[in-house]
A and B are shown apart, each in its own frame.
Chain A
Amino acid sequence: MHQNRFVLRLALGLALAATTLTAAAQAKEQYFPLQSYRVGPYAAGGTGFFGGFIDYMQYVNLKEGGVNGVKLVWSECETEYVVEKGVECYERLKKGLDKAPAAATNPLSVGIAYATLERSAADKLPLITINHGRTDSTDGSVFPYVFPLQLNPYSEVSAIVNYIGAKAGGLDKLKGKKIVTLYHGSPYGKETNPILELLAKKYGFQLVLLEVPHPGNEQQSQWLTIRREKPDWVILRGWGVMNPVALKTAQKTGFPSDHIIGNIWSNSEDDAAPAGPAAKGYISITTHPSGTQFPVLQDIRKTVVDAGKGNLADPKRFGNVYYNLGVVNGILNVEAVRVAQAKFGKRPLTGEEVRWGFENIRLDNKRLAELGALGLVQPLKLSCADHEGGGAVRFQQWDGQKWNVISDWIQADRKLLRPIIEDSARKYAKEKGITPRDCGTKAI
């Protein structure tokens, strides 16, 4: 009898202790659900990006014990870049992990972003689509929970056209030029076609749009068409395996690689290097240089990678474009949490609070230097109405071994794009019966 009571008490005590212990541990954790992809045709992008993202969070935990003492935790769910799997992962992870609330989702896939866009708004969970995504979600009054950070697809195209114009000696010299855009046959690839057509009309250049079906490992007919068209420039809007195949096929059909401009998802070492000598001279845009010279990357190498806790299977990829984008994404996500904590208190935050953090990110050169990311991240200022912030890119050229930056920051014509974005957002709001938030001041 007595023994029974003792066992009962012991069990009760243990249970209590366990709950208080776990509660104490749970009280100080912020969760990042990761809809990652490490297999399939886009694995190079997925492993690099999520490797950098995870390494940065790991670094924040090891170096500072989390954000103001709130530890960052995460778990992964494989999407293979497939929409249904992405939705399943979103629904599985959105609730948080062991009561640590989810901060934001980062699917790194336009298709999945489209499918979880409304769910994010309903669940009040920010959806981060860095350097990609649905362009009109830049208008934060209609899309309060979606953030195409740094560079939305329209800005990207506008910056490329500005660069081509500068090369030709002024935007007015674009008249009569011919530009072919070779795009990936997916929502991501098609996103910029209307704005290209608009720019073509505005500046008087001739535009040819060519689609490459997903995943893009066969492009003979497209490049034969390009040879027939004899364009001045080819804009490569590729993704994954499509990029090296494009460069190789270009060489086979005799198109010069230094007149191909890769977009933001055709700009990594994993895109150029597999094409071998065919990629030499190839130009692409980037929002962040590759390389390991930045203090934050040096620090990550010291505290995370050298301690054997790095996420990359192949350490040679440390500091490449995809990896650095993951780090940039990590910096922005963590900064949003930090900004939000300054307002709401140093505790795990809800998605709604983190959204406020994103909208109040103010990254100037001083803050970037503090983060050790000066030159890696562009100055960024977000607001209720403007969910993009930057809109500037640099151009880089592949020398056969590595990327060399060949231009200063080139700004997209955001004043020209904003009304188009607002129109599109308003159309969406009408279709969906959404009343836009009042953001007060003008966006740009």
Chain B
Amino acid sequence: MLFSQAGQLSTSYAQDRRTWRLRQQRWAMAALLALAAVALPLAGTDYWFSAILIPFLVLSLAGLGLNLLTGYAGQLSVGAAAFMAIGAFAAYNFQLRVPGLPLLASFALGGLSAAMLGVVVGLPSLRIKGFYLLVSTLAAQFFVLWALTRFGWLSNDSASGVITAPPLRIGGADVGAPAGRYLLTLAIVVPLTWLANRIVRGPVGRQWMAVRDMDSAAAVIGIPILRTKLLAFAVSSFYLGVAGALWAFTYLGTVEPNGFDLARSFQILFIIIIGGLGSILGNFLGAAFMVLLPVLLSNLAGLVSGGAIDPGQLENVQKMLFGALIILFLIKEPAGLARLWHAAGLRLSNWPLRP
């Protein structure tokens, strides 16, 4: 038995509503946060920050945004990258055109701009459902990219349509170095994750799930369908917008509209499908799978082959392997990695006894 839940009883409603009711869970969480916020910045290298940790965090946040909409409120969308693009370009323009605006405020404004677009895109969701809604979010995806390339003002008339993030400063402190950018990303992703966790466990989350499971039944018990759906679109788009701003500002430092193309939307959709729909943890697991595994494979391939295999073919082998792994995971656990994690936790809590 690795840990025991014996004696950990809730004595008040507040205790009972806690996210982590077990002492061990809280310790593990605290240890994880300490690792992320203290140990990694001390021990990490530029490569870890810039190429692995920051994209992992940003894509986790994007996955979280889409998961609120698709996993919790049941509205399918393939426009995730469009909302990210709005967030990135809006944050860039606010930062550029409003002198003295704090960096965090432009991230928030970027998120709010995306949320506004999200509400507009969400309007048809009252009438159309499922795959048909998917098509209308697809329209948003193409429209946003078209608008961003069509109107040069949005990229400050940059010749090539590429925007470059301004120097990252927060309250006079320079956070432009890789470790600083990582900490900034972490400091945004963690509170937003906490907030999402509160939302889905509160009344709003219950309404979303009721609408997801059967919206006519939800309407019958008095849940305002339109408002609930639009709120889901708004909150989800806000998260995606902030993720887009982080993608442009803390990860790449530069971004072009095509960086947010349909392939990015699919990538985020795959993150939540592989990670687990309707799960907070799943987004992080899914993002880890999608970001870290290809990097790991490519690093391993370099080590194993030692230059003996043609690099082009090596790359194709990695793609096949990655595809096979996705299929394998989906067959073994269609509910996603989060479910796998949960099952493993249950087994471990009883180990070595059978559950």
Contacts and interface: CB of A to CB of B under 8 A. Distances in A.
A38 interface: yes
B258 A185 contact: yes
A92 B159 contact: no
B346 to A, nearest CB: 36
Contacts of A431: 164, 166
Interface in B293-326: 295, 298-299, 302, 307, 310-312, 314-316, 319
B50 A186 contact: no
The prevalent SS among residues of A at the interface is helix
Given A114-B160, A190-B159, A92 B51 contact: yes
B252 interface: yes
A87 B252 contact: yes
Contact of B161 (A118, A190, A313): A190
Contact of B159 (A43, A83, A135): A135
Contacts of B202: none
A432 B166 CA distance: 6
Given A78-B298, A87-B51, A433-B167, A188 B160 contact: yes
Q: Indicate the size class of the contact surface on chain B.
A: 20 to 34
B302 A38 contact: no
A214 interface: yes
Interface string B137-180: 00000000000010000000101111010110000000000000
B161 A114 contact: no
B312 A38 contact: yes
B47 A92 contact: yes
A117 interface: yes
Nearest to B142: A213
Interface string A7-46: 0000000000000000000000000000010110001000
Nearest to B256: A187
A78 B159 CA distance: 28
Contact of B164 (A114, A185, A195, A313): A114
B255 to A, nearest CB: 8
B311 A88 contact: no
B159 A77 contact: no
A95 B178 CA distance: 15
Given A84-B55, A91-B50, A115 B254 contact: yes
Contacts of A211: 149
Nearest to B55: A84
A193 interface: yes
A83 B316 contact: no
A92 B47 CA distance: 6
Interface string A69-88: 00000011110100110011
B124 interface: no
B92 to A, nearest CB: 11
A38 B311 contact: yes
A186 B256 contact: yes
A125 to B, nearest CB: 12
Given A78-B298, A114-B162, A432 B254 contact: no
B334 interface: no
A307 B157 CA distance: 52
Interface of A: 36, 38-39, 43, 47, 75-78, 80, 83-84, 87-88, 91-92, 94-95, 110-111, 114-115, 117-119, 134-135, 185-188, 190-195, 211, 214, 313, 424, 428, 431-433
13 contacts: A39-B312, A39-B319, A80-B315, A84-B251, A84-B252, A92-B47, A114-B160, A114-B256, A186-B258, A190-B160, A190-B161, A191-B159, A194-B157
